[in-house]
Amino acid sequence: MPIIRLVKKAQKGNDKAFLKLFQQYEEDIYRMAFVYVKNKDDALDVVQEVAYQSFKKIDTLRKPEYFKTWLMKITMNCATNVIRKNKKVVFLKPEFEEIIGTEDEDILFSISLQELIDGLEEDEKSIVLLKFYHNHTFKEISEILDIPLGTAKSILYRALDKLRKHFKEGDICEQ
């Protein structure tokens, strides 16, 4: 496998091998970061931080075949750090908040999947995104997040239950 070979070269200090590897997954990293931070600039900052962190710690990767999984874990950690940092920012003028839609408008247009996902806890959000956005198996999710397989399943089902309840509360489902 060429990826395993590239990882091993990168671990031995080959900068070109690391660059080639990172470029293969750069778009995936950006998409994952954007889902978390919700804006282009912060997502690009996350990609840059992931590049730095992964380059600095490539020698700690024990199984080269899990390089992408390892990168996604770093991405989630970096994105979560950016979110925490941004929560500390206090906006002096909250004029950007607008009410979207009126009672006459169809509610389907005023609620989005992103808003539903934002209502989840960080661990729930991570698992939902890994499962449905990146199509990871439960085994892969448990390895990425370093949690037991059963815990990954429990968290996903709890998150799906929350999403269903929020969805129904908005009277979007036909009953």
Percentage of residues in the chain having pLDDT higher than 90: 33
* 70 contact partners, CB below 8 Å, separation of at least 6: 54, 61
Q: What is the pLDDT of residue 74?
A: 93
Reported as a single tens digit per residue, the pLDDT across 135-164 is 888 888 888 888 899 999 999 999 888 888
Choose the weakest-confidence range: 47-51, 78-82, 111-115, 128-132: 111-115
Which pLDDT does position 168 carry in this prediction? 72
pLDDT of residue 5 exceeding 70, the answer is: yes
* Residue 122 pLDDT greater than 80, yes or no: yes
Does residue 50 contact residue 74 with C-beta atoms inside 8 Å?
yes
Confidence of residue 113 (pLDDT cuts 50, 70, 90): low
Can you tell me the distance from the alpha carbon of 159 to that of 131, in angstroms, rounded to the nearest whole number? 12
Domains of the chain: 1-92 (1.10.1740.10), 102-170 (1.10.10.10)
Q: Say whether pTM exceeds 0.75.
A: no
- Residue-level length of the chain: 175
Give the residue, 169 or 85, on which the prediction is more confident. 85
Determine the Cα angle at 21 with ends 18 and 24, to 5°: 150
**For residues 142 and 137, what is the distance between their CA atoms, to the nearest angstrom?**
9
Q: What is the pLDDT of residue 114?
A: 67
